Amino acid sequence: METDLAFADDGVVASDCAAALLERYENSKREDHQHLCAVIGGTMQTLKDQGIAPTPVAYFAAIVASLESLSRDQASASDPVAAGLIVFLSEVIYDVPNAVVISRRDFVADALLRFFGFGSLSEDAVAAGLKCLTRLITAEERVRWDSVSHMYGVLLGFVTDPRPRVRNESHRLLYLILDRFKGSPILVLACEGITTIFERFLLLAGGSKSTNSNTEEGPKGAMEVLYILNALKHCLPLMSMKSSSIILKYCKTLLELRQSIVTRAIMEILQQLCLSPNIRVDAERLSEVLCSLATSVTEQYTSGDELATIARLLHVGLTKLYDLKREICIIKLPLIFNALGDILASEHEEAIFAATEGLKGINKLLC
């Protein structure tokens, strides 16, 4: 394992992150952890033999050199050494100065994308690779879209990955990227990417008219729609006004399907959105979704838990709507009051309590 000496020797004195990783995993019985320790140990020995201080930049240089070489051979994607190197890189790369990461960004990205393309990396290695990709995307102080759009598109493709470990990590990283882009012109472009894949899978699922929780029973694209909805739970509050309006429009359509798994996902999105005090969304779009939810009370729900959740959501939703545009809030009041009244008439104690609290809160808001 050879290292680019000129690149590695940055003169930075840092704690030995590799030694800390070894200490963390050396007693693990998991095979992947044992392979990781072997990779770390080999890298440490290489630096020692070459007389290079064990800094994050030195490890970064050594790992990248090895990954680039391995990525030229498709058979190496199933090699535990490649997986170990990618996991090691994900632990090191956030300690490497931005300037160094940027200088090697294309080089590192190309190697990672080749590994992704082989399709035989372990789930942990793919998740670690996505973490590395996120670091590459967000390294610049003023990110240029043409420099990161391809990498961002690759990460976005994993939002609907069937593997929970990979999918959940991509959702977490997407949130971090959007948060990093906040206030930047490229946030709009990043959000357009999300709405584009959402629309594509909605179309593939036939407009989601048959969205089903079972991939074997539902149409192709239905599960992907649900996966994107799960990602939007945290990401929508960070999205641009234009993109969030498009998403809310589709949420209204999806609510009208009256399918519980879809409705639950949308209610979680609305909960996060309405409880974010500084988030601005299109008031008209939000009101349409809330009204669709309100009309569902007498059409769909029998569970006390579900009715209680809707009552609380109608309360916080109307409060959000009041803050956004008071005139629309007043217009929608009768429908919301009727829905809360229907919940009051239910036989579920928790739902009745939530509806009562909701009515009290709305009255206090308007007084």
Q: In this structure, is residue 146 part of a structural domain?
A: no
**Distance spanning both ends of the chain, measured CA to CA:** 72
Kindly report, residue by residue over 133-161, the tens digit of the pLDDT.
999 999 998 889 999 999 999 999 999 99
Q: Which of 98-107, 113-122, 206-215, 269-278 has the lowest mean pLDDT?
A: 206-215
Q: State which residues form the domain around 245.
A: 151-271
The angle at the Cα of 113, spanning 76 to 173, to the nearest 5 degrees, equals: 120
Q: Do 9 and 119 belong together in one domain?
A: yes
Q: Do 266 and 312 belong together in one domain?
A: no
Of the candidates 171, 191, 195, the residue with the CA atom closest to the CA atom of residue 181: 191
User: b/e map of 247-268 (b: 16 or more CB within 10 Å)?
Assistant: bbbbbbebbeeebeebbebbbb
Query: The tokens of 238 are what?
Result: 């960070």
Q: Check residue 239 and give its pLDDT.
A: 96
Q: Do 68 and 33 belong together in one domain?
A: yes
Of the candidates 58, 168, 70, the residue with the CA atom closest to the CA atom of residue 112: 70
Between 3 and 226, residue with greater pLDDT: 226
- Residue 234 neighbours by CB distance under 10 Å: 17
On the question of pLDDT at 5 being above 50, the answer is no
Q: Do 156 and 130 belong together in one domain?
A: no
Q: How confident is the model at residue 209 (pLDDT cuts 50, 70, 90)?
A: very low
Q: In this structure, is residue 353 part of a structural domain?
A: yes
Q: Please, which residues have CB within 8 angstroms of residue 241's CB and are 6 or more apart in sequence?
A: 280, 281, 282
Q: pLDDT > 90: what percent of the chain?
A: 72
Q: Do 29 and 135 belong together in one domain?
A: yes
**In the listed set 141, 172, 189, which residue is the last one of a domain according to the structure?**
141
Mean predicted confidence (pLDDT) in 303-309: 87
Distance CA 28, CA 356 (A): 53
Q: Do 196 and 302 belong together in one domain?
A: no
Q: pLDDT > 70: what percent of the chain?
A: 91
Q: Do 131 and 159 belong together in one domain?
A: no
Distance CA 206, CA 257 (A): 12
Q: How confident is the model at residue 117 (pLDDT cuts 50, 70, 90)?
A: very high
Q: Check residue 258 and give its pLDDT.
A: 85
Cα atoms found within 13 Å of the Cα of residue 222, Cβ hemisphere only: 18
Mean predicted confidence (pLDDT) in 272-292: 92
Kindly report, residue by residue over 158-206, the tens digit of the pLDDT.
999 999 999 999 999 999 999 999 999 999 999 999 999 999 999 988 7
Q: In this structure, is residue 21 part of a structural domain?
A: yes
Length of the chain: 367
Mean predicted confidence (pLDDT) in 104-125: 94
Distance CA 144, CA 127 (A): 24
Q: In this structure, is residue 205 part of a structural domain?
A: yes
Distance CA 248, CA 288 (A): 8
Q: In this structure, is residue 283 part of a structural domain?
A: no
| Residue at 195: amino acid letter | T
Q: Do 304 and 259 belong together in one domain?
A: no
Of the candidates 124, 181, 128, 123, the residue with the CA atom closest to the CA atom of residue 152: 181
Q: Check residue 11 and give its pLDDT.
A: 38
Query: The tokens of 291 are what?
Result: 């009204």
Q: Do 126 and 168 belong together in one domain?
A: no
Distance CA 55, CA 39 (A): 16
| Residue at 123: amino acid letter | E
Q: Check residue 302 and give its pLDDT.
A: 63
Decide: 334 and 290 in contact? Cβ < 8 Å: no
Q: Do 4 and 129 belong together in one domain?
A: yes
Q: Do 182 and 264 belong together in one domain?
A: yes
Name the one residue in this structure whose structure tokens are 């190496």: 76
Q: In this structure, is residue 313 part of a structural domain?
A: yes
Q: How confident is the model at residue 208 (pLDDT cuts 50, 70, 90)?
A: very low
Total of domains in the chain: 3
Q: How confident is the model at residue 211 (pLDDT cuts 50, 70, 90)?
A: very low
**In the listed set 98, 113, 141, which residue is the last one of a domain according to the structure?**
141
Kindly report, residue by residue over 26-72, the tens digit of the pLDDT.
888 899 999 999 999 999 999 999 999 999 999 999 999 999 999 99
On the question of pLDDT at 7 being above 50, the answer is no
Q: Check residue 9 and give its pLDDT.
A: 39
Average pLDDT, the chain: 88
pTM: 0.89
Q: In this structure, is residue 290 part of a structural domain?
A: no
On the question of pLDDT at 254 being above 70, the answer is yes
Decide: 176 and 134 in contact? Cβ < 8 Å: yes
Q: In this structure, is residue 281 part of a structural domain?
A: no
Q: Do 84 and 172 belong together in one domain?
A: no
